[in-house]
């Protein structure tokens, strides 16, 4: 069984990773738009 504490830490890291991923995707999209214009 996974303890609640470990699960809580894992969820926090997952949310942080998702935020970083979204930021990277937004930056890439902005760069593509700037390059095409």
Q: How far apart are CA 13 and CA 25, in angstroms?
A: 18
* Predicted TM-score (pTM) of this structure: 0.65
Place of tokens 């990773």: 17
Give residue-wise pLDDT tens across range 1-37.
779 999 999 999 999 999 999 999 999 999 999 998 7
Q: 28 is written with which tokens?
A: 């890439």
Provide the pLDDT for residue 37: 76
């Amino acid at each position: 069984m996974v303890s609640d504490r470990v699960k809580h830490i894992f969820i926090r890291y997952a949310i942080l990773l998702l935020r970083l991923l979204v930021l990277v995707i937004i930056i890439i999209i902005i760069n593509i738009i700037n390059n095409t214009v």
